[in-house]
Amino acid sequence: QVQLVQSGAELKKPGSSVKVSCKASGGTFSTYTISWLRQAPGQGLEWLGRIIPILETPIYTQNLQGRVTFVADKSTNVAYMELSSLRPEDTALYYCATSHYGPEAFDVWGHGTMVTVSS
């Protein structure tokens, strides 16, 4: 059973970048679809995109196109999400997730990484 462990909370200035990591264990990392989602305080879930490590072809939500980058390091079983040109509205809990039931149904989640954007 795969488990996902994310990096710790980040406090960033507007205009800067943040890189969140998600380490997978207990499964075959390269074949999983790693999706990234976020949840702003008191708000709902937003899907940000996904990457399949063995294919290395990410898909990004149109909302963040050009500001978000996903990378998967097969040698270390770690996926990364980098978000640039940060804005206060990017303040959210960022999750990585994967699935045993298809790429759109997330049954395994990381614990979340809080990213706060504030001057």
Q: How far is the CB of 2 from another protein (least distance, A)?
A: 14
Q: Does 105 bind another protein (CB under 8 A)?
A: yes
Percentages helix, strand, coil for the chain, rounded to the nearest 5?
A: 10, 45, 45
Encoded one letter per residue, x for contact with another protein by CB under 8 A and - for no contact, window 45-84 reads xxx--x--------x-xxx---------------------
Q: Which helix (H) or strand (E) holds 107?
A: none
Q: How far is CA 85 from CA 17, 46, 73, 90, 109, in A?
A: 6, 19, 24, 10, 26
Q: Say whether residue 109 binds another protein (CB under 8 A).
A: yes
Q: Is 8 in the site for another protein (CB under 8 A)?
A: no
Q: Helix, strand or coil for residue 42?
A: coil
Residues that bind another protein (CB under 8 A): 35, 44-47, 50, 59, 61-63, 95, 99-102, 104-107, 109-112
